[in-house]
Structure 1
Amino acid sequence: MFSSQGYASAARRYAAIDTSSRVEGATPHQLVRILFEELLRAMDSATLALKGGDMAKATERQTRALTILHALESSLDFEKGGEIALSLATIYRESRRRMIRAIGEKDAAPMESARAFIADIASAWDQIA
């Protein structure tokens, strides 16, 4: 049997392998989809940790979410994307601001509202063929 620490470590290794296998050979569109999936998972985990009072876990998951948001924003092409890229950048920045506020105030509500923004974008991305 695994200890709770051993189980968590095994789960992280499995998740890393799963993500690696999905990324290998993925198209750029699929890579963005994977980023959105991972971002939503990190935000969900941070929210649960906040609600449970586990600030270390909440901060860890928030850091992952912020890193993914940064990657998404960095990949925007403002020349080709025009107004859409500008709108996405604004949403990503506001989402980051809310996530930071959630941790600072130890309140899950700003994290949940940031997640709603991202979920809408992820859903729209899934509609693109």
Structure 2
Amino acid sequence: MYMQPARLGAARAQYQNVDFQSRVEGASPHRLVGILFEELIKSIDAMAAACRRGDYVQRGVRQSRALNILHGLEGSLDFEKGGEIAVDLAAIYRETRRLALEAGRDNDPAHLVRAREMLAEIATAWDQIG
């Protein structure tokens, strides 16, 4: 069976959306943050790949997704309960946003490599405490 590329892309997007929704529906609050880290890292990786290909449309789409997730993560921080850890995480999220914006402006995936390294460290630590 042959499927046209446009229909294949739409089918893949629909499958990914269903997969994401099913992971989110039964997740604990701790797991939801873990899922956000996973999705953020995927977006950063996809943005870096789009930079390398010179695909400005996908770069913008992935950058927008990454920035939205970063805003969500930062907005969920509880500075009263989280104290210094929350302040440090907010700084990392802001730095990641800055790197993503520079990568988009310069079409330079090197900025995203650094952002990914920081996020992967946090995501690993988050998984270990869960």
What is the TM-score of this pair, normalised by structure 1?
0.97
Q: Which runs of 5+ in 2 are unaligned?
A: none
Q: Name the amino acid aligned to 1:13.
A: Q
Match of 2:12 in 1: 11
Structure 1 position 111, deviation (Å): 1.2
Structure 1 position 65, deviation (Å): 0.6
Q: Distance in 1 between matches of 2:8 and 2:73?
A: 31
- What percentage of aligned pairs have identical amino acids? 50
Match of 1:45 in 2: 46
Q: Distance in 1 between matches of 2:3 and 2:48?
A: 26
Match of 2:88 in 1: 87
Number of equivalenced pairs: 129
Structure 1 position 52, deviation (Å): 0.6
SS of the residue aligned with 2:119? helix
Match of 1:122 in 2: 123
The superposition leaves residues 2-54 of structure 1 with CA deviations (integer Å, 9 ceiling, x where unpaired) of: 22221111111111100101111210011001101111111111110100110
Q: Distance in 2 between matches of 1:112 and 1:7?
A: 30
Q: Distance in 1 between matches of 2:5 and 2:117?
A: 31
Q: Which has the higher contact order (CA 8 A, sep 6+)?
A: 2
Match of 2:98 in 1: 97
Q: Distance in 1 between matches of 2:104 and 2:4?
A: 28
What is the TM-score of this pair, normalised by structure 2?
0.96
Q: Distance in 2 between matches of 1:64 and 1:2?
A: 28
Q: Distance in 2 between matches of 1:4 and 1:67?
A: 28
RMSD: 0.7
